[in-house]
Each structure stands twice: as structure tokens, then as C-alpha cells.
Amino acid sequence: MAVPTLSPKPHSAPSGLFSLPVIVAALGYFVDIYDLLLFGIVRVPSLQDLGLSAEQISTVGASILNWQMGGLLLGGILWGVLGDKRGRLSVLFGSIITYSIANIACGFVKNVTFMDPTAYYALMRFIAGIGLAGELGAGVTLVSEILPKEKRAIGTSLVAGIGLSGAVVAYFTVKYFDWQTAFFVGGGLGIGLLLLRVGVVESGMFKDVTEQKDVRRGDFFSFFTNSDRLSRYLKCIGIGLPTWFVIGILATFSNEFGRALGLTEEIQPGLAIMWCYVGLAAGDLSSGFISQALESRKKGVALLMAIALVFSLVYLFVGIKSATVLYALCLAMGFGIGYWAMFVTIGAEQFGTNLRATAATTVPNMVRGTVILMTSLYGYLKPSLAVINAGAIVGLISFAIGFYSILTIPETHGKDLNYLEE
């Protein structure tokens, strides 16, 4: 249940769209996406350099990726709770230190002799996953609380739109340099951002809540002790499922879909993912303006989700004749799932100041964690239903939950965020 804050004190003047907190949050998410996708891009060449066979690259690579995703799940809860207990800035600082050090450490995996290099690699990706989990939620929470409600959607869209271009930079860094250099670049970018963040100030709303000693902050389990709160929390997660169906299934396994569709040209999953993120960045930059124009978070997200559904159906069933068309469809689907920033903003807006960072940080990482379930279901269905139908069933489930969640969740456009969860 939402109750108003007790503090009557005014907050500091709202920041502008291009103020330092917004810029730093955007650049932070840029580095976050760069590092999040980097292992997927360097998986094959890095494991080849460690002397693994093609079969080992597949199995060990999947295991390392799952360790990273496990780190994201654990880190989402850790940083979310800390964001509400210790402050939004503490998470921004702590998360970037964690994943910057872990990424630099990944660059030395070839030189490891004190333990099995692949076990070391998995451990470093797990630690990197923990660090990467805190960036977006804390950044969106801070931006949402410092911007006036009329600019909130546009501000968070700028954060994600700029941030998602990190995927493109990661792809070309690996393409023109070696994989070790790419890890060092990611760590160096993070340390550079750490210096920028020195001038960022804490959210006024959070400062007010810290003075109310009787308010419980960052209680993750409180999402499960109230039916209304649990419903809102699960619907926030449900909204994000179509995004990772497109990225985690249609783009990641685009080489399999290409063969199933009869394409003679070999599809490069890394290139498909890159084009998907180009579209996603464009969609995220647009989503805030769409939300403002429609005066509704729900209508804006539903519109983009419908676009993603249409192009997913074209991808699976219309009949792709060339690799160029497939990559173009990845771009179009990426635009459709470009409500990622809006989805995280909705998660932040659904809950009071004492739980806001916990929600905004755990929700996107819960969605990322569902990739394990999606890929497992896809792999289970493939032998009996073949690639296209297996992908379609996973997509049907994802979009059905996504549409139900966005159509039934409370509207938050123009909502005053200065309140607490009881």
C-alpha cells in the first residue's frame, strides 16, 4: 500500500535532461551494455585461445554464460537492497568498481596458472555479472527522482538509448582489436566513469526517507508479503519478457533460424545481436517521446510490443530469402523491444521511495535471468518441433505474458514519486 512521505521539506531544484546525473547514468549504462554483451561476442575466440575444442567451446561457453547470468540475478537483489538502504550513488560506485575490476581480470585469463583457466574465467564473469546488475536500476531510479515528472520518461529514454549503443562499440572493438584488449577497454571505461561520478549528488527523495528512522528500506521480501505489491512486481517482470525473447532466442540463435529457413549464407549471431541493439537503442530513444505524446506508459509500451510481435511473426513465418533481410528484421524487432528503458521506469514508478531502487534493480535482472528458462525450453522443444516451431512457442508464451502484464498494471504516467510503501 502506498502512503505519502512524512517529510515536508522541499527537494533541491529538479535537474535538466542534460544535467550531470543524466549524462553519467547514460554513460554508465553504455559501459554496462558493453561489458554485459562482451563475453557473448568473444566467447569463441577467447576459448579457442585457451585450447578448447569446438564441443568444449559450446559446453564450457554456455556454462560461463550461465555463471554470468547467475551473477546478474544475485547482484540484482544485492544492489537493489543496497540502493534503498545505502543510497542510489553507493550502488553506482560499488557496481562499477566490481565489474571494472572483473573485466580487467578477464583480460588475463590466458596467463592464469594457479587454477584451471576456464574455472577462473567463469568466476570472473560471475563477479562481473554481480557488478553489472546494479548499473541500470540505480541509474534509472536516480534519474526518475531528480527529474520533474513531465521529463521523466524522456530522461530515462535518453539513458537507455545512449547506453545501448555500447553493444555496437563492443562488437567493433572485438572486430578491430583482440578479445583481451576488449576486456581491458571495458574495465578502463568503467574506471573513467568512476571519476565522472564524483560530482553527482544523491536523490533528494532518498535523503528525506533516510531521516525517517521508522521506515523500512530495501526489504526485498516485502514484495512477497502483500498480494497487491506482489502482483505489481510480477507484472513488471512480465512486461520485459518479449525483449529477451527477441535478443536471447531470435537474435542469439539466428544462425539456427537461418539454416531452418533455408538460407545458404551463414548467419553471424554477433552481427544479428548488434543490429538488434541498434534498433533497440533507436526504440528506447523514441519510447519516452511516444509515452509523453500518448500521455500513457501503458499505451507506449503496448504499441512498441505490438511492433515487436509483428516483426517476430514475419521473421518466423513469412519466409526470409537473404541474410540481409534477416539482419533488417533484427533491426526492426530491436526497435519494437525498445521499451526497455520505459519498462525499467515503470518498475521504478510502481513502488515507493523505500523500495524503488530494489524494484528497479531486481526487475530487469529477473527478466535477464529468464533467458535460462527460455533457452532451456527452446532446446527441449527443438528435437520434436524443429527450430521454427520451438521458437514460436517460446515467443507465444513471452508475448502473452507481456501483453497481459502491460494491459493490467496500474498506469504511472505523471505519477508523483514522493511516497512510501507501507
Residue-wise DSSP of 360-421: HHHHHHHHHHHHHHHHHHHHHHHHHHHHHHHHHHHHHHHHHHHHHHHHHSPP-TT----EEE
Look at 338 and 414; give whichever has higher pLDDT: 338
d(CA 84, CA 357) in angstroms, rounded, equals 6
pLDDT reading at 319 higher than 90: no
pLDDT reading at 69 higher than 60: yes
pLDDT reading at 1 higher than 60: no
Closest Cα to residue 203, out of 87, 352, 86, 29?
A: 87
pLDDT at 11: 45
pLDDT at 315: 94
Q: Which of 169-173, 321-325, 353-357 has the lowest mean pLDDT?
A: 353-357
pLDDT reading at 280 higher than 50: yes
Is the Cβ–Cβ distance between 363 and 354 less than 8 Å? no
- Which residues neighbour 252 within 8 Å (Cβ) at sequence distance 6 or greater? 40, 269, 272, 273, 375
Q: Which residues of 140-153 are buried (b: 16+ CB within 10 A; e: fewer)?
A: bbbbbbbbeeebbb
For residue 132, give the amino acid letter.
L
- Which grid coordinates belong to 12? 533541491
Model confidence pLDDT, tens digit, residues 80-138 = 777 666 666 667 678 888 888 999 999 898 888 888 889 999 999 999 989 888 777 66
Is the Cβ–Cβ distance between 5 and 418 less than 8 Å? yes
pLDDT reading at 216 higher than 60: no
Work out the pLDDT band at 409, boundaries 50, 70, 90.
very high
pLDDT at 240: 93
Arithmetic mean of pLDDT, 298-318: 94
Alpha helices in 314-355 (DSSP H): 323-336, 340-349
Give the Å distances, CA to CA, from 150 to 173, 259, 359.
Answer: 37, 47, 22
Arithmetic mean of pLDDT, 268-281: 86
d(CA 98, CA 109) in angstroms, rounded, equals 17
d(CA 419, CA 354) in angstroms, rounded, equals 8
SS3 category, 175: helix
pLDDT reading at 273 higher than 90: no
- Which grid coordinates belong to 380? 527441449
pLDDT at 311: 96
pLDDT at 394: 95
Work out the pLDDT band at 347, boundaries 50, 70, 90.
confident
Q: Express as a percent the part of the chain with pLDDT over 70.
A: 82
Is the Cβ–Cβ distance between 137 and 82 less than 8 Å? no
Q: Which residues of 191-218 are buried (b: 16+ CB within 10 A; e: fewer)?
A: eebeeebeebebbbbbebbbeeeebebb
Look at 255 and 209; give whichever has higher pLDDT: 255
pLDDT at 8: 42
Q: What is the pTM of this model?
A: 0.78
pLDDT at 422: 67
Model confidence pLDDT, tens digit, residues 150-171 = 677 777 777 777 777 787 788 7
Tell me which range, 171-175, 201-205, 277-281, is most confidently predicted by mean pLDDT: 277-281
To which H or E segment does residue 2 belong? strand 2-4
Work out the pLDDT band at 410, boundaries 50, 70, 90.
confident
Give the Å distances, CA to CA, from 190 to 28, 162, 182, 217, 422.
Answer: 8, 16, 13, 28, 37
pLDDT at 241: 95
Work out the pLDDT band at 199, boundaries 50, 70, 90.
low
pLDDT reading at 310 higher than 90: yes
Q: Which CATH number fits domain 20-196+214-421: 1.20.1250.20, 3.90.1150.10, 1.10.287.810, 3.40.50.150?
A: 1.20.1250.20
Strand partners, 122: none
Alpha helices in 147-266 (DSSP H): 152-164, 166-176, 179-196, 204-210, 227-245, 254-260
SS3 category, 171: helix
- Angle 218-219-225 (CA atoms, 0-180°, nearest 5)? 145
Place of cell 528525506: 208
Closest Cα to residue 79, out of 116, 22, 32?
A: 32
Mean pLDDT of the chain: 80
Arithmetic mean of pLDDT, 165-190: 84
pLDDT reading at 223 higher than 60: yes
